[in-house]
């Protein structure tokens, strides 16, 4: 099969050109937040090779993927992690997202307040939460995918935000009634679909009582805000990899918010597009490229 031939079988498009590259955006599922003034969850890992844009964690932009004609590549979209379901329960990590050999790591779950749990390591790390003095650390992000969660300082009525694709989660700072839980770290903006969209934001930390200050705000890019009092944390936005927001304190509803599911987006040169895929991706044409958005798992054949 030559690089200048035609698709005589009629399955759409010319024969893929030798050496053509697929640009990609692979975002994992966001983590679930902790319960009981829980830490905000980390965003799902953010890996990008989109020209002119950024990849997660402040790393160098990745190279495009050189596919082999006729080979079927797996696309896996990671689910969001579950929030901690009550006192002393950390949030769960998000699911990994995959395109071919490119794997993004699920976001780290947020810490649980009652038991001084730190956040969990992930694509971006979960925020710390505590119930006593000292420093409760946030968890690390994954190199080239996202940033760490924030830490809790002081007597820990507050909690920290989860890390995002573009920045560390905010620290929870206690100062009597003027304390504040940390905001989720912001995500990154991409226009791979020809519409600028933020993804990969961390979740905000939950707070003890309203009288102890404010819950953490949502990181831009699908992260969720934390809550106070007897309230469940908000869920991260679907198909952004956003981290869940931390639950409030007291009562039966102080669960952490769930993480948002991930997404895989492929940008294929149209003269190399095979028209063969599964999983019902949304397909459009932007300039000289065909864009496939996978909100659920499937395949793409080169």
197 within some domain: yes
62 within some domain: no
Over residues 95-119, the mean pLDDT reads 91
Q: What range defines the domain where residue 218 resides?
A: 107-257
Our count of domains for the chain comes to 1
Over residues 23-43, the mean pLDDT reads 96
9 within some domain: no
Rounded Cα–Cα distance for residues 21 and 199 (Å): 23
Beta carbons of 158 and 37 less than 8 angstroms apart: yes
Rounded Cα–Cα distance for residues 55 and 44 (Å): 12
- How high is the pLDDT of residue 174? 73
148 within some domain: yes
41 within some domain: no
Q: Which residues, at least 6 apart from 24, have a Cβ–Cβ distance to it below 8 Å?
A: 47, 48, 49, 50, 64, 65, 99, 102, 264, 265, 266, 267
Q: State pLDDT tens for residues 220-263.
A: 999 999 999 889 999 999 999 999 999 988 778 889 999 999 99
Q: How confident is the model at residue 280 (pLDDT cuts 50, 70, 90)?
A: very high
Q: State pLDDT tens for residues 1-13.
A: 233 333 333 334 4
- Work out the number of other CB atoms within 10 angstroms of the CB of residue 121: 22
**Proportion of the chain above pLDDT 70, given as a percent:** 88
Over residues 70-87, the mean pLDDT reads 93
146 within some domain: yes
51 within some domain: no
Q: How confident is the model at residue 198 (pLDDT cuts 50, 70, 90)?
A: very high
């Amino acid at each position: 099969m030559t690089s200048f031939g035609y698709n005589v079988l009629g399955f759409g498009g010319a024969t893929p050109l030798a050496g053509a590259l697929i640009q990609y955006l692979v975002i994992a599922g966001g983590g679930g937040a902790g319960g009981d003034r829980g830490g905000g969850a980390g965003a799902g890992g953010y890996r990008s090779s989109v020209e002119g844009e950024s990849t997660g964690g402040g790393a160098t932009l990745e190279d495009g993927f050189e596919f082999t004609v006729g080979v079927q590549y797996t696309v896996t979209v990671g689910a969001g992690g579950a929030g901690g379901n009550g006192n002393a329960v950390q949030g769960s990590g998000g699911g990994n997202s995959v395109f071919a050999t490119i794997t993004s790591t699920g976001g780290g779950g947020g810490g649980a307040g009652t038991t001084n749990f730190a956040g969990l390591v992930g694509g971006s790390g979960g925020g710390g939460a505590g119930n006593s003095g000292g420093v409760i650390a946030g968890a690390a992000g994954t190199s080239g995918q996202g940033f760490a969660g924030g830490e809790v300082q002081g007597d820990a009525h507050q909690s920290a935000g989860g890390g995002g694709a573009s920045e560390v989660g905010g620290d929870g700072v206690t100062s009597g009634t003027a304390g504040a839980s940390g905001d989720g770290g912001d995500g990154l903006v991409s226009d791979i679909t020809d519409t600028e969209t933020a993804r990969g934001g961390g979740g905000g930390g939950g707070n003890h009582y309203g009288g102890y200050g404010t819950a953490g705000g949502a990181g831009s890019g699908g992260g969720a805000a934390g809550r106070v009092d007897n309230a469940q944390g908000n869920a991260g936005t679907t198909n952004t990899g956003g981290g869940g927001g931390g639950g409030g304190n007291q009562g039966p509803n102080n669960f952490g918010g769930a993480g948002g599911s991930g997404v895989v987006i492929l940008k294929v040169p149209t003269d190399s597009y095979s028209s063969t895929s599964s999983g019902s991706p949304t397909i459009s044409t932007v300039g000289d490229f065909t864009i496939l958005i996978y909100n659920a798992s499937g395949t793409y054949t080169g």
